[in-house]
């Protein structure tokens, strides 16, 4: 079985590494399985991409398309064309895509148009906001995928409510496989490394006495009023507790264009971090404030409360069990949520599986496509 894995955004590197390790393990046991790793180039800044390959010891991609156009349409179109060329050249049995990026959709479209099965990891996620490009990408990818690997019961139920699994052809039907979350696999795999990492001496914070913050989504950074309101909340709360803010280059650039939006001196602004440093700081923090999908889960993995500055989330389970407050961008609501205490002794530990999702993914693909 030959797999073409398509990645383009930073979190996808980590997700793919989890499954790639399982592929390598199966090969070492004699299974007839091969993976080709294709990087679309969607995230191309060295500090924001190569760092993941270096620190996580992920093999460099076999193919790098180098596509990073700013326009969604142009980017997706270029990816679709180039991926199609690769698929026509290689004899691929299944295309494996992750999440909800333009790379995800382009890979799924290219494969489906050539009659190649698509396996979608993180299928079934829904924020129920089609104004988000990610929601469009994930819904369309689910529609044309053969294998729908869901991270949770909620995601599986979302698909069933929409009528999935669907009939693709007269002799082929989709399959929903609830495998758990590959990011939980990654968290458990790398834990021996990051859990004992010391705080950087340059950070003027004490363990357990700071909030870990990230902010990068366009709905926040490109909306002056939302951005100002969020930064105001950070500034106010930083009088009570320090905030560590690894700032995205684009976010930093936008903040500097507004003369009336300033970050307090109590906020430790640092360069973007790698995966391991991020996990280490989450563990040592008092909680997380973010607009990232991945960090909502990682806070939960490490038993930290999360405040999400979005109007909705695709990871709805975390709100339902009370560990993630989705509060939007109003200063008052953010400050209220930051003061909430979460008792993790009463929280389920198995929302996203048992850390064996990669094994389940490869088991399923081998059962259907392996020789």
What tens digit of pLDDT does each residue of 64-97 get? 999 987 788 999 999 999 999 999 999 999 999 9
CA distance 146 to 165: 9
Q: What is the pLDDT of residues 165-203, one digit of tens each?
A: 999 888 889 999 999 999 999 999 999 999 989 888 788
CA distance 8 to 101: 8
344 token code pair: 């993790």
Distances (CA, A) of 324 to 74, 209, 229, 341: 35, 19, 20, 11
What are the catalytic residues?
216
Structural domains of the chain ordered from first start: 2-181+353-369 (3.40.50.2000), 191-346 (3.40.50.2000)
Q: Match 């340059």 to its residue by tokens.
A: 202
Q: What is the pLDDT of residues 254-305, one digit of tens each?
A: 999 999 999 999 999 999 998 999 999 999 999 999 999 999 999 999 999 9
Distances (CA, A) of 45 to 41, 74, 206, 272: 9, 19, 31, 11
| Nearest by Cα to 69 from 81, 59, 79 | 79
Q: pLDDT band for 51, please (50, 70, 90 cuts).
A: low
| Nearest by Cα to 124 from 184, 175, 183 | 175
pTM: 0.94
Q: 98 and 104 in contact (C-beta within 8 Å)?
A: yes
H/E element, 186: helix 182-194
3-state DSSP assignment of residue 324? strand
């Amino acid at each position: 079985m030959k797999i073409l894995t398509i990645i383009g955004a930073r979190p996808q590197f980590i997700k793919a590494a989890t499954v790639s390790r399982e592929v390598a393990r199966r090969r070492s046991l004699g299974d007839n399985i091969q993976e080709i790793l294709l990087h679309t180039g969607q995230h191309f800044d060295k500090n924001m991409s190569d760092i993941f390959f270096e620190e996580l010891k992920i093999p460099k991609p076999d193919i790098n398309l180098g596509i990073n156009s700013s326009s969604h349409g142009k980017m997706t179109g270029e990816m679709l064309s180039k991926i199609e060329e690769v698929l026509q050249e290689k004899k691929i049995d299944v295309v494996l895509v992750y999440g909800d990026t333009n790379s995800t959709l382009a890979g799924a479209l290219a494969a489906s148009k050539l009659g190649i099965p698509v396996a979608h990891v993180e299928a079934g996620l829904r924020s129920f906001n089609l104004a988000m490009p990610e929601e469009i990408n994930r819904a369309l990818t689910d529609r044309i995928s053969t294998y729908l690997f869901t991270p949770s019961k909620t995601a599986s139920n979302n698909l069933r409510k929409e009528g999935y699994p669907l009939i693709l052809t007269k002799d082929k039907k989709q399959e929903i496989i609830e495998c758990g979350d590959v990011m939980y696999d990654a968290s458990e795999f790398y834990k021996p490394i990051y859990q004992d990492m010391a705080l950087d001496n340059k950070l003027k914070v004490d363990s357990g006495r700071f909030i870990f913050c990230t902010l990068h989504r366009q709905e926040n950074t490109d909306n002056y009023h939302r951005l100002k309101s969020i930064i105001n909340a950070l500034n106010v709360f930083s009088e009570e507790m320090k905030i560590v803010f690894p700032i995205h280059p684009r976010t930093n650039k936008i903040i500097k264009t507004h003369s009336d939006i300033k970050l307090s001196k109590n906020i430790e602004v640092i360069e973007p971090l790698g995966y391991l440093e991020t996990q280490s700081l989450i563990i040592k923090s008092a909680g997380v404030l973010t607009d990232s999908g991945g960090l909502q889960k990682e806070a939960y993995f490490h038993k930290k409360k999360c405040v999400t500055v979005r109007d909705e989330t695709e990871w709805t389970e975390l709100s339902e069990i009370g560990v993630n407050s989705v509060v939007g961008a109003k200063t008052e609501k953010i400050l209220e949520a930051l003061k909430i205490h979460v008792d993790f002794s009463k929280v389920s530990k198995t929302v996203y599986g048992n850390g064996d999702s990669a094994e389940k993914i490869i088991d399923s693909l081998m059962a259907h496509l392996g020789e």
